[in-house]
Amino acid sequence: MSERGYLSKNDFGITQQEDTPVSMRIQVSNATVKALQNRLQQAYRKDDVRLVRRTTVLIDLLVHHVPVAVLGERWGLSPACLYAWQKAFMLCGMDSLIYRHGGGRPEKLTPRQKKRLVALIEAGPLVVGFETACWNSVLIRVLIWREFGVLSNRHYVCTLLHNVGFSFPKARFVSDHLDAAKRLAWLEEKWPTIFRAAKHRKGLILFEDEASFAQWGSLSYPWARCGRQPEVPTSGKRKGSKVFGAIAYFSGRLFYQGIEGRFNSENYQTCLQVIMDHTTEHLFLIHDGARYHTSASTQAFLAAHSDRITEHPLPSYSPDDHPIEYLWRNTKKRATHNKYFKEFAALTVSVDKALAYFALHPDTVLGLFGRYREESGLELKQVA
C-alpha cells in the first residue's frame, strides 16, 4: 500500500477464469488486511455504524471471499452497492472508508462556538450585559450575532438550545434578601449539629410550617386540544383553608391542624401543645421567622417548655431549605389543582382528605426529605 493509502499493483493478486471474464478473485496483501482490521477497530471505537458495516463487508468480500449474493442478503444491500464499495476501495484504498457530510445546510456554529455559547447562557443575561434576569430566543439571537457574527432565525435558536441541553421552563421568583452565607452555614454547620443532637437524645426533628389553600382553587397543566385553553370554574371567593403542619425527619410522621381565622401566636402555641400531647420524645423544632414564631408570647411558651422543645430557626428567606414546602405543593396537587369549590366546606374536606393520605403514608413523606437532602447536598452518612 502506498503512503497516501491508495493501493498499488502489489497489493492485489487478481485471477480470472478464461470462460467467465466477469468473474474474478482478488487477493489482498497482509498489510492491506491488517489496515482493514485496524480501520474496523477505529470504527467500533467511534461507534460509527455505517463505517463498521462497510469495513466488515469489504473484509468478508476481499479477505474471506464471501459471495456477493450472501453478503447482500446478510446486510440487506444490493449487488451494485457491494461492487461500488469494492471498486472504490480498489481505486482509493483506505481513503474510500470515510463518510463525509451527507448534504443539507452546514452548521452555523462550530463545536467550540457552541461550547462558548452554553457558557454565556449559563452565566445569565445580567452577566453578559442584558437588563433582564432570564433568556428568551430574541436575546439569544442578539447574543449569537454579537459574539459570533452569525444571524439566526428564531426556529434555529430554539432547535440549537434544545440540542445543547436547554429547555423552556417557567421562571420563579426568589427573594433578593437571601443571605447565601447564612444558608450555607445552616446546611453545613447548624443542620449536622441538630441531627446529631436528635440522634443522641432519640428525639424528633420536626419541620413546621403553615399553608393556606384558597377556595378559588389552583391551576396546573392539563392536556387539551391544540389551540384550546382548558377552563376551570371558580367562585372567586378569597376565603382559604388554613393549616399548621409539621413533619418528622426520621419517620415521616405528619402532624397537622386546621384553624379558623388568621395565623397568630395563640393558635400556633395550641398546635405545638397538641403535638406535645401526642408525643413523648424531645422535639427539635425547625421553623421559619414568621411573626407568630418569633413573638414574645411564643418565645415565652417555648422557654416554659424547654424540657420538651428546642427551637432552631431557619435562615431568613430560605423556603428551599424547608422540606415541608414540598408537602404543601403535593397537597395542592391532590386537593385543589383544577378543582371547583362552590362551598367552603367542600374545600376543607378536600384538604383534610389529602393531608390524611400523607398522614397514612409516611414513606411518601420521607421521600420529600430525600429530595431535601439531595438539594441541600447532605446525606445522613455525612452527619451520623
Note the pLDDT tens digit of each residue in 219-228. 888 887 888 8
Burial of residue 330, with CB atoms counted within 10 A of its CB: 0-12 exposed, 13-18 middle, 19 or more buried: middle
CB 27 within 8 A of CB 13: yes
- Half-sphere exposure for 39 (CA within 13 Å, toward CB): 24
Query: Among residues 148, 145, 127, which one has the least CA distance to residue 137?
Result: 145
What's the grid cell of residue 118?
A: 452554553
pLDDT of residue 47 exceeding 80, the answer is no
pLDDT of residue 50: 82
CA gap 317, 113 in Å, rounded:
38
pLDDT of residue 296: 97
Residue recorded with cell 446486510:
75
Q: How confident is the model at residue 347 (pLDDT cuts 50, 70, 90)?
A: very high
What's the grid cell of residue 37?
A: 482490521
Q: Write the pLDDT tens digit of every residue in 76-107.
A: 889 998 989 988 888 888 888 877 655 566 77
156-160, 204-208, 287-291, 345-349: least confident range? 156-160
For residues 4-28, average pLDDT: 51
Q: How confident is the model at residue 235 (pLDDT cuts 50, 70, 90)?
A: confident
Q: How confident is the model at residue 6 (pLDDT cuts 50, 70, 90)?
A: very low
pLDDT of residue 269: 97
pLDDT of residue 9 exceeding 50, the answer is no
Q: How confident is the model at residue 111 (pLDDT cuts 50, 70, 90)?
A: confident
pLDDT of residue 374: 55
> Is 0.85 surpassed by the pTM of this model?
no
Q: Helix (H, G, I), strand (E, B), or coil: what is residue 295?
A: coil
pLDDT of residue 16 exceeding 80, the answer is no
CA gap 76, 13 in Å, rounded:
29
Q: How confident is the model at residue 119 (pLDDT cuts 50, 70, 90)?
A: very high
pLDDT of residue 49: 78
pLDDT of residue 376: 45
pLDDT of residue 18 exceeding 60, the answer is no
Query: Among residues 42, 151, 73, which one has the least CA distance to residue 57?
Result: 73
pLDDT of residue 319: 64
Instruction: Tell me how crowded residue 65 is: count the other CB atoms within 10 A of its CB.
Output: 10
CA gap 87, 7 in Å, rounded:
11
Per 3-state DSSP, the chain is made up of helix, strand and coil in percentages (nearest 5) of: 50, 10, 35
More confident residue, 309 or 64: 309
Pairing of strands 240-248, 254-259: antiparallel
pLDDT of residue 115 exceeding 50, the answer is yes
pLDDT of residue 188 exceeding 60, the answer is yes
Q: What domains, with CATH codes, occur in the chain?
A: 9-96 (no CATH), 111-163 (no CATH), 180-220+233-383 (3.30.420.10)
For residues 317-341, average pLDDT: 87
For residues 361-375, average pLDDT: 75
State the maximum Cα–Cα separation within the chain, in Å, rounded to a whole number: 113
Give the contacts of 68 (CB within 8 A, at least 6 positions apart): 61, 79, 82, 83
SS3 for 171-240 is CCCCCCCCCHHHHHHHHHHHHHHHHHHHHHHCCEEEEEEEEEEECCCECCCCCCCCCCCCCCCCCCCCCE
- Mean of the per-residue pLDDT values of the chain: 84
Q: Which of 31-35, 165-169, 237-241, 356-360 has the highest mean pLDDT?
A: 356-360
pLDDT of residue 93: 87
More confident residue, 182 or 3: 182
What's the grid cell of residue 223?
A: 392536556
CA gap 37, 1 in Å, rounded:
15
Q: Write the pLDDT tens digit of every residue in 261-274.
A: 899 999 999 999 99
Give the whole-number percent of the chain exceeding pLDDT 70: 84
- Phi-psi domain of 72 (left: phi exceeds 0; alpha: psi -120 through 50; beta: other): alpha
pLDDT of residue 320: 65
Query: Among residues 240, 169, 270, 255, which one has the least CA distance to residue 207?
Result: 255
What's the grid cell of residue 249?
A: 425527619
**Partners of 287 in the beta sheet?**
313
What's the grid cell of residue 337?
A: 389543582
Q: Write the pLDDT tens digit of every residue in 253-300.
A: 999 999 988 999 999 999 999 999 999 999 999 999 999 999 999 999
Burial of residue 69, with CB atoms counted within 10 A of its CB: 0-12 exposed, 13-18 middle, 19 or more buried: exposed
